[in-house]
Structure 1
Amino acid sequence: MSTTDLAPALRGAGLRVTRPRLAVLGLLQENPHADAAQVVALARRRADGISVQGVYDVLSVLCGAGLVRRIQPAHAVARYELDLGDNHHHVVCRSCDVLVDVPCAVGSAPCLDPAPALSVGFDVDEAEVIYWGLCPDCRPDPSAARMSTTTKEKV
């Protein structure tokens, strides 16, 4: 979705085009995976006069309309991104909380088979894959670990 597509995207979702909505969509386009505090700070700079509650209301409306996706990794703050329908997953660093897009595990939707949930009466409308690990910046340097074990004093 390009910057020029933001207003038509709002109209296409049956929403009025407002400065706060355009501000939030635009900043998420430039800052994917922003958390709520980042969205509030950036949106308040773009849409002068918007309140903190106003930003949360806009996020809620945009998520409900399917224009924005809320990503809620376990034990981490919620992040937001434009919902482009591009079928990707996320990987989160356990150390620094960086969140990165990764391609779909199987290449196409659905990535997960909802049959087990359907068999117990659930109506599944979403499935999410989040990988967890250490990013390259947080992962210990294997050569440093080898050096520390070879330079330790023997007792």
Structure 2
Amino acid sequence: MTRPAPGGEPMALAAAHLRAAGLRVTVQRMAVLAAVSESAGHLDADALRERARRVTGALSLQATYNVLRALTEAGLVRCTQIPGHPARYEVEHRDNHHHFVCLRCAAIRDVECTVGAAPCMEPRLPAEYEVREAAVTFWGVCPDCRGARPDTSSM
């Protein structure tokens, strides 16, 4: 794949999003945000670093994590922590969705929240607690893996 021009549309959009979030605009931040935005979602830091390096050239994994933390804190990126897997990142749409994880291939798919508005679940907590989000993970076998071989996993 050819290296996109730094002034290209994805980079310009990333710069605009960074400014709107009150973040300083750097090539590394633009490149990582563009990589997240252009992906189908749910990529780990290493995969995003590889995509961002097409623009920045050298980019360490630590620098990538630093950028992802800043983007997450600014509300531009959502970090999803699935037990047993590296953190995955996607554009933050504030749409209150959940995730399905395939037990065989570890693919992650968004699942629309079918109950309603955030947090879409009512935990039994004292009134002093303010719940803003519920994170639900569905575990199973995706259609590709179901067709590939018989199910030998158990939970």
TM-score calculated relative to the size of structure 1? 0.79
Cα distance in 2 between the residues matched to 1:61 and 1:45: 21
Cα distance in 1 between the residues matched to 2:84 and 2:50: 22
Amino acid at match of 1:24: V
Q: Is the 8 A contact 1:44 1:51 kept in 2?
A: no
Identity %: 45
Q: Bigger radius of gyration, 1 or 2?
A: 1
Cα distance in 1 between the residues matched to 2:62 and 2:35: 17
Cα separation, partners in 2 of 1:10 and 1:76, compared to 1, 3 Å: same
Deviates more, 1:23-32 or 1:38-47: 38-47
Residue 85 (structure 1) aligned with residue 94 (structure 2): yes
Give the length in aligned residue pairs: 141
Cα distance in 1 between the residues matched to 2:17 and 2:52: 18
Pick aligned residue for 2:25 from 17, 22, 27 = 17
Match runs of 1:39-54 below 5 Å: 39-54=48-63
Amino acid at match of 2:133: E
Q: Is the 8 A contact 2:118 2:132 kept in 1?
A: no
CA RMSD after TM alignment: 2.4
Cα separation, partners in 2 of 1:141 and 1:28, compared to 1, 3 Å: closer
Q: CA deviation at 1:141?
A: 7.2
Which residue in 2 is equivalent to 1:37?
46
Residue 73 (structure 1) aligned with residue 56 (structure 2): no
Runs of 4+ off more than 6 Å: none
Q: CA deviation at 1:94?
A: 0.6
Which structure 2 residue ranges, 5 or more long, are not aligned? 1-8
